[in-house]
Amino acid sequence: MTLQRMDNVGIVVEDLDAAIAFFSELGMEVEGRMRIEGLFADQAVGLDGVRSEIAMMRTPDGHGKLELAQYHAPAAIGGGAHHPPNTLGLHRVMFAVDDIDDTLTRLRSHGAELLGQVARYEDVYRLCYLRGPSGIILALAERIG
């Protein structure tokens, strides 16, 4: 048996509407939105009494997906929304963009904070890290060479 594909990356957020707006501004599209609850949810995630709402966000090419989840029950627990990029666990999600400066400007209106500065990697990429909704760290890469 072989791996077929990576289906999505799941991210728990405090405010689903704000996260959807943020990732929509980035250029992702809402593929679907639904409530998740019941025995199957409890069994799948290993929690009792799960009530959540998810939104599946899709990249324009259709290959990359984020599953944004807001837990109503049991309540989400703090996971370190302000931990630095070298914290153990999921590090960040990187997106390729056409114009890093324009993307940063648009995302700042949704609360994005640049973690360092836009850096140049040789004559190939401009790169940066930023913090988005619920402390999510994103990386942006603009190919320049």
| φ, ψ for residue 14, nearest 5 deg | -80, -40
pTM of the complete model: 0.90
DSSP 64: -
What pLDDT does residue 102 have?
97
Looking at this protein, which amino acid is placed at residue 61? D
> How many CB atoms within 10 Å of residue 13?
23
- Set out the domains of the chain in order of their start, with CATH numbers: 9-73 (3.10.180.10), 93-143 (3.10.180.10)
Q: What is the mean pLDDT of residues 110-130?
A: 95
Percent pLDDT > 70 in the chain is: 97
Q: Are 78 and 84 in contact (CB under 8 A)?
A: no
pLDDT digits (tens, 9 = 90+) for 73-85: 998 887 666 777 7
Side-chain-facing half-sphere of 20: CA atoms under 13 Å = 14
pLDDT digits (tens, 9 = 90+) for 60-70: 999 999 999 99
Q: Tell me which long-range contacts 123-129 makes (C-beta under 8 A, separation of at least 24).
A: 126/100, 127/100, 128/100, 128/104, 129/85, 129/92
> How many CB atoms within 10 Å of residue 103?
21
